[in-house]
Amino acid sequence: MISDRFRLAVAQLNPTVGDVTGNLSLVRAAREEAARKGADLLLTSELVLAGYLPEDLVLKPAFVRKCMEAAEQLALETADGGPGVIIGTPYKGDDGRVYNAALLLDQGKIQSVRYKYDLPNYSVFDEKRVFAAGPLPGPVDFRGVRIGIPICEDIWNDEVCECLEETGAELLLVPNGSPYWENRAEERLQVVVARVVQTNLPLVYCNQVGGQDELVFDGGSFALQADRSLALQMPQFATSLAVSDWKRDGETWVCENGPMDKLPDLDEANWRACVMGLGDYVNKNGFPGVVLGLSGGIDSAICAAMAVDALGADQVHAIMLPYRYTSEESIQDAADCAKALGIRYDTVPVAEPVEGFLSALSGMFKGTNEDTTEENLQSRTRGVILMAVSNKFGKMVMTTGNKSEMSVGYATLYGDMNGGYNPIKDLYKTQVYHLADWRNRNQPEGLLGPKGEVIPSNIITKVPTAELRENQTDQDSLPPYDVLDDILECLVEEEMSVGEIEKRGHSRDLIHRIEHLLYIAEYKRRQAPPGVKITERNFGKDRRYPITNRFRDRS
């Protein structure tokens, strides 16, 4: 029995959704490490046996059964006298309903089960679809310590923690599956401070790490003392196990020696999120690497750099696909970028297949003027070639369009939108430029790319162009990107009215035009590959607008 001291291990792991056996192995390895370090209890993240978010897998009885069997197996292993474990799993209750549960495993059995009370149903979360809500929980007893186990969303409102404090909890240990977006770490800290102030109890926040489709979980697990001071801080974007000693000081548990990792600034956090999301998508889905069209433009260059940071140069294959409008400057810039990154670089001219398509269509197109149809044929030909290379050698085609272009439909279906995953899908063009410059000046620790200028400076400074016709620039079709991005952030992230946006100095006609382009491009975005969520409202899980939509704000 613990009297006045115990040692806690916090494991922020990178589970894979659906890989119950593999996820159990991760927890088992963490428990072994915790045992070597003398821990009494191991805290893991929300639904770690299933992987988070499991979505409709939870509706499959065989999946829930396998998760519960894994939990029971691990419970038996705790008969060895080593650390107890708080583990998250889908759990079928005696009432036949499935819950998002946290289990306390110790002394060879499941000692206690607690269900998530507050199921989130906003933004990327849809838990009410698959889980039943549990009752307000009381604390569990672990070797003489009364522990409250609110699960993730349970601490974002005051009901659960208030109930735990009133029913005798001495310490709050919180399993979380909290995905990354900009400034998310500060938001979590504010929530935890509020719960500590409310309960006067210390709180340990354990978060998942890793990419899962569009979401990236950044870890950053931490703890606050009852006086709201930081007790421990774990790293972001890295698996980690932290051990800390806790002692009873009167009526309060105090952390004596929590590790203190430094969190990255916003630029590094955004870069790491893009890299981790891409790397985990490729690796967890079993691709041997990525292939991309390297055009000499900023978007494909930054994606290539992210891919090398995520996967290593040997897993990245770049192809230049020039046509008559491709400038010598672009050809040189692409070659310089590939050389700086150390990646394989091939050139496949597309003139012959493009002219072949145009010849095949010449009879049907006779008497018409050239327009975007002929421009898009170039992009679609490139897409076909990249997909052929992918089919032949197995590497995934990486898509390279930014959020600004995806917002207004400045992208070609079945052309540059081809591919399996897009690391910059949720970065506006101005953010792309900013991060490219940042990466040239920084090499984040632990990533696989080289130091120094990995994106040639000429790519960053030159006027952006799709090079689908003579002397084309992006600004032929779009306003300057700083103007476009400000309007888009107002429309997408803030849901501001046209009148409110106009007060920021933009013309009403331009706002109407951008809003119209935003709405009519919805059908394209529905067919786009997934990509890393960086902003508070990404295209996908966050923003669900109808494709058929005649609403326009003319107020």
78 labelled ligand-binding: no
Backbone angles phi, psi at 429, to 5 degrees: -60, -40
Q: Which residue in this structure is represented by tokens 């230049």?
A: 320
376 labelled ligand-binding: yes
Closest CA to 71 of 20, 1, 147, 2: 20
331 labelled ligand-binding: no
| Host H or E run for residue 101 | strand 98-106
297 labelled ligand-binding: yes
Closest CA to 192 of 181, 208, 176: 176
User: Is-catalytic flag, 451?
Assistant: no
122 labelled ligand-binding: yes
Closest CA to 446 of 181, 228, 239: 239
296 labelled ligand-binding: yes
Closest CA to 315 of 273, 293, 282, 347: 282
User: Is-catalytic flag, 339?
Assistant: no
d(CA 374, CA 231): 62
Report how far Cα 130 is from the mean position of its chain's Cα atoms: 21
| Host H or E run for residue 20 | helix 20-36
Closest CA to 172 of 211, 215, 205, 208: 205
d(CA 492, CA 508): 17
Backbone angles phi, psi at 35, to 5 degrees: -65, -40
User: Is-catalytic flag, 46?
Assistant: yes
| Host H or E run for residue 243 | strand 240-249
Q: Which residue in this structure is represented by tokens 């590497």?
A: 395
401 labelled ligand-binding: no
405 labelled ligand-binding: yes
291, two tokens = 């292939």
299 labelled ligand-binding: yes
Tell me the CA distances in angstroms from 293 to 277, 301, 416, 525, one per residue in order. 20, 9, 9, 20
Closest CA to 174 of 120, 106, 116: 116
Which entry of 46, 127, 375, 515 is annotated as an active-site residue?
46
Dihedral angle computed from the Cα positions of residues 37, 40, 45 and 48, in that order, rounded to the nearest 10 degrees: 90
Tell me the CA distances in angstroms from 363 to 96, 353, 372, 375, 378, one per residue in order. 65, 17, 18, 18, 19
250 labelled ligand-binding: no
295 labelled ligand-binding: yes
200 labelled ligand-binding: no
Which entry of 116, 395, 403, 533 is annotated as an active-site residue?
116
184 labelled ligand-binding: yes
**For the chain, how far is it from start to end, CA to CA, in angstroms?**
68
Which entry of 66, 67, 127, 152 is annotated as an active-site residue?
152
Residues that constitute the known binding site for ATP: 293-300, 400
Residues that constitute the known binding site for deamido-NAD(+): 376, 405, 524
Residues that constitute the known binding site: 122, 178, 184, 293-300, 376, 400, 405, 524
Question: What are the residue numbers of the active site?
Answer: 46, 116, 152
Residues that constitute the known binding site for L-glutamine: 122, 178, 184
